[in-house]
A and B are shown apart, each in its own frame.
Chain A
């Protein structure tokens, strides 16, 4: 029991320390490009935290999360640029709407198992993408929204720089992480983990697995929607491109590379993938002059393979393993020196 509160305290202090670092970072980093990379990491983190809740705790894969991301972005984009709705109301509308869509569609989808579920989410993503492409009157079709999307503002403060936007994105991301953390350690969270263990056993113990899965699915869709809204107001231009299958797959890759079993997985996964992509752009041309993106994607692919070979549980599990091994060794040396 005592151990449990200790762990809880450790968890809380970790979150506090991390938040402090995150919020201090922009004062140290003055390079706008680095800040914009961090903003994108923040936006993707919000999506992947939701996805990890779904995959790690409810054990359900989704190959269609870019659809929810897109629904949020397009709701914000269309409402603010065409109908002059307040961006915050549009963002809320996007989140509620996307959550509702996920809840309604999730009902039949979650009757499916394993690969069929993966295929259904993939199909859902494709259908949303087709709609974004075809409803030209509303979405502007494949060329994207015709009017530019306004910046977000808080009162009189217009969030038009990377520095200002950084704080908005990361405050939202931190709230998302904290909320997810609470869900994981709540009664629902325990129920969810039991689903992951054995759905049948959970059901026979009276856990309403279907309802909980649906709730988490809707929650993760809302996360993605909010991230999409933040993306739309940041880039100020959207087209269906970033909301297709490749993005859905990228989110899953980030989630798995980070590790599904810890709330730190998403941040680590998103950061590693994004920083790796950007770093390869710097490094590769130094080794092979005049080489373009071809080499980058080859190296990226190989690194992904290596990570999955050596750290199949994801990076967080890898780090935790190292730490445990180090602590075990230290305890043993302590013991021997104590004797």
Chain B
């Protein structure tokens, strides 16, 4: 009977399921947005483009949640000078063509500034449009090319630590431990490739020898072949530049094949996911990261401590474990809001204010921007962290 009904009205059933799914999932979120009745002044418009779906989504989703959380808070406390913030958030689906369209959409909506994207490729696809239309853009992605050469990037800023900075930090650590011959493995995408290129530069400058490099695909799950090759080289230490899940797979295979050399990862494993997936294999892994992960363990006189703990508590109360990507978005949106407060609704003035950002205590570090440096982070923004019993513990080098 039921089957017959379903067969006859298959489409109806199908549409009904769709409606239920959409309604069911949507219902829970509906009352999060509050109606502000005290609105008198024209709202300030800010645009956001993030990699919410597609391969970049593990970055884009915490970034979206962070930005929504901050804007909600700002609007609840009356906005900026009485102007509420009107946020337009677009998903680029981790697709460069859609990012390029999204940024034009936002510019046409007369946004004062734009935050995004989550990854380097999608950000780079938007730069031409913001440079031409003269709209300030603050990216949460890593590649140094987003802000370099700075004379062609007048309107572009970024908050994530550059790969060059991270690579330098790792080289400093290696030298302090006397590990001079290493093997390098990276995931085969923009993140891993840029990490490899920057690490090669930093290693050459720091007197570290790279015995060999290996690659694995983003979706690879068994890296035995690569690790067997690394084993043959017999390095002092192994560097892996990847994000989970493949970073975790690499670690698990590394332990399974019985390598005993220190395993050093990149800042790409700056979230709980890595530990959840690799389990006890994660123990002993050392990696460079912003201070957010070990916030509670920082000395009380650390200037960032209060901001870090506050953000981590707020975020974890609503969305689950903290991660550094959300932190990059926190920095980006707050730098924009700061500049907006000082400059008022004028794109050019906002840009100038962003460039003047000094001693801004953020999540990824303390920002000191200038006409030559549109990132504004120093080596001290990264610490080395070791995983012990599934916890992050700062290491001194």
Partner of A297, one of B14, B32, B93, B143: B93
Interface with B: A92-100, A116-124, A285-293, which one?
A285-293
Q: Cβ of B222: which chain A residues have Cβ within 8 Å of it? A: none
User: Does B33 contact A290, Cβ atoms closer than 8 Å?
Assistant: yes
User: Does B188 contact A133, Cβ atoms closer than 8 Å?
Assistant: yes
Partner of B22, one of A239, A281, A285, A295: A295
Q: Cβ of B120: which chain A residues have Cβ within 8 Å of it? A: 143
- Shortest A245–chain B CB gap in Å is 12
| Interchain residue pairs with CB less than 8 A apart (9) | A32-B107, A142-B190, A143-B197, A144-B124, A239-B121, A239-B190, A292-B64, A292-B91, A294-B52
User: Does A241 contact B128, Cβ atoms closer than 8 Å?
Assistant: no
- Shortest A12–chain B CB gap in Å is 33
| Interface presence of B272 (CB below 8 A) | no
Q: Cβ of A141: which chain B residues have Cβ within 8 Å of it? A: 193, 197
Q: How far is the CA of A162 from the CA of B107 in the complex (A)?
A: 13
| Interface presence of A136 (CB below 8 A) | yes
Partner of B53, one of A32, A133, A294: A294
Q: Cβ of B18: which chain A residues have Cβ within 8 Å of it? A: 298-299, 302
Q: Cβ of A296: which chain B residues have Cβ within 8 Å of it? A: 53, 91
User: Does B32 contact A290, Cβ atoms closer than 8 Å?
Assistant: yes
Q: Cβ of A36: which chain B residues have Cβ within 8 Å of it? A: 100-101, 104
Q: Cβ of B95: which chain A residues have Cβ within 8 Å of it? A: 241-242
| Interface presence of A81 (CB below 8 A) | no
Known: A237-B128, A294-B52. A289 touches B108 (CB 8 A): no
Extra contacts, 14 of them, besides A32-B104, A290-B32 (Cβ < 8 A), are A34-B108, A40-B100, A141-B197, A146-B145, A235-B96, A239-B124, A278-B101, A281-B102, A290-B29, A291-B26, A291-B29, A292-B61, A294-B52, A295-B25
User: Does A237 contact B127, Cβ atoms closer than 8 Å?
Assistant: yes
User: Does A289 contact B30, Cβ atoms closer than 8 Å?
Assistant: yes
Q: How far is the CA of A235 from the CA of B190 in the complex (A)?
A: 18
Q: Cβ of B105: which chain A residues have Cβ within 8 Å of it? A: 33, 278, 281
User: Does A236 contact B97, Cβ atoms closer than 8 Å?
Assistant: no
Q: Which of B89, B104, B107: most chain A CB closer than 10 A?
A: B104
Q: How far is the CA of A296 from the CA of B54 in the complex (A)?
A: 12
| Interface presence of A336 (CB below 8 A) | no
- Shortest B169–chain A CB gap in Å is 20
Known: A32-B104, A242-B97, A291-B26. A143 touches B190 (CB 8 A): yes
Q: Cβ of A305: which chain B residues have Cβ within 8 Å of it? A: 14
Partner of A289, one of B32, B104, B125, B152: B32
- Shortest A308–chain B CB gap in Å is 12
| Interface presence of B161 (CB below 8 A) | no
Q: Cβ of B145: which chain A residues have Cβ within 8 Å of it? A: 143, 146
Known: A33-B104, A144-B121. A160 touches B132 (CB 8 A): yes
B-contacting residues, A149-202, CB 8 Å: 160-162
User: Does A143 contact B121, Cβ atoms closer than 8 Å?
Assistant: yes
Across the two chains, which residue of chain B brings its CB closest to A151?
B128
Q: How far is the CA of A136 from the CA of B193 in the complex (A)?
A: 9
User: Does A235 contact B125, Cβ atoms closer than 8 Å?
Assistant: yes
Q: How far is the CA of A242 from the CA of B189 in the complex (A)?
A: 13
The proximity string for A residues 222-262 relative to B, scoring 1 for CB distances below 8 Å and 0 otherwise, is 00000000010001110101100000000000000000000
| Interface presence of B238 (CB below 8 A) | no
- Shortest A16–chain B CB gap in Å is 30
- Shortest B8–chain A CB gap in Å is 15
Q: How far is the CA of A249 from the CA of B124 in the complex (A)?
A: 24
User: Does B29 contact A299, Cβ atoms closer than 8 Å?
Assistant: no
A-contacting residues, B59-96, CB 8 Å: 60-61, 64, 68, 89-91, 93, 95-96
| Interface presence of A31 (CB below 8 A) | yes
Q: How far is the CA of A237 from the CA of B57 in the complex (A)?
A: 22
Using CB atoms and an 8 Å cutoff, list the residues of chain B in contact with chain A: 11, 14, 18, 21-22, 25-26, 29-30, 32-33, 50, 52-54, 57, 60-61, 64, 68, 89-91, 93, 95-98, 100-102, 104-105, 107-108, 120-121, 124-125, 127-128, 132-133, 143, 145, 152, 188-190, 192-194, 197
Across the two chains, which residue of chain B brings its CB closest to A305?
B14
Q: Cβ of B104: which chain A residues have Cβ within 8 Å of it? A: 32-33, 36, 162
User: Does A281 contact B91, Cβ atoms closer than 8 Å?
Assistant: yes
User: Does A237 contact B107, Cβ atoms closer than 8 Å?
Assistant: no
Known: A32-B108, A241-B95. A235 touches B192 (CB 8 A): no
- Shortest B325–chain A CB gap in Å is 15
- Shortest A162–chain B CB gap in Å is 7
Q: Cβ of A231: which chain B residues have Cβ within 8 Å of it? A: 97
7 closest pairs, A vs B, by CB? A293-B91, A293-B53, A288-B26, A292-B52, A33-B108, A293-B52, A142-B193
User: Does B90 contact A281, Cβ atoms closer than 8 Å?
Assistant: yes
Q: How far is the CA of A293 from the CA of B149 in the complex (A)?
A: 32
Q: Cβ of A291: which chain B residues have Cβ within 8 Å of it? A: 26, 29
Q: Cβ of B25: which chain A residues have Cβ within 8 Å of it? A: 288, 295
Q: Cβ of B190: which chain A residues have Cβ within 8 Å of it? A: 142-144, 239
Known: A239-B121, A278-B101. A142 touches B53 (CB 8 A): no
Partner of B189, one of A136, A142, A146, A298: A142
Q: Cβ of B124: which chain A residues have Cβ within 8 Å of it? A: 144, 237, 239
Q: Cβ of A277: which chain B residues have Cβ within 8 Å of it? A: 98
Q: How far is the CA of A281 from the CA of B133 in the complex (A)?
A: 22
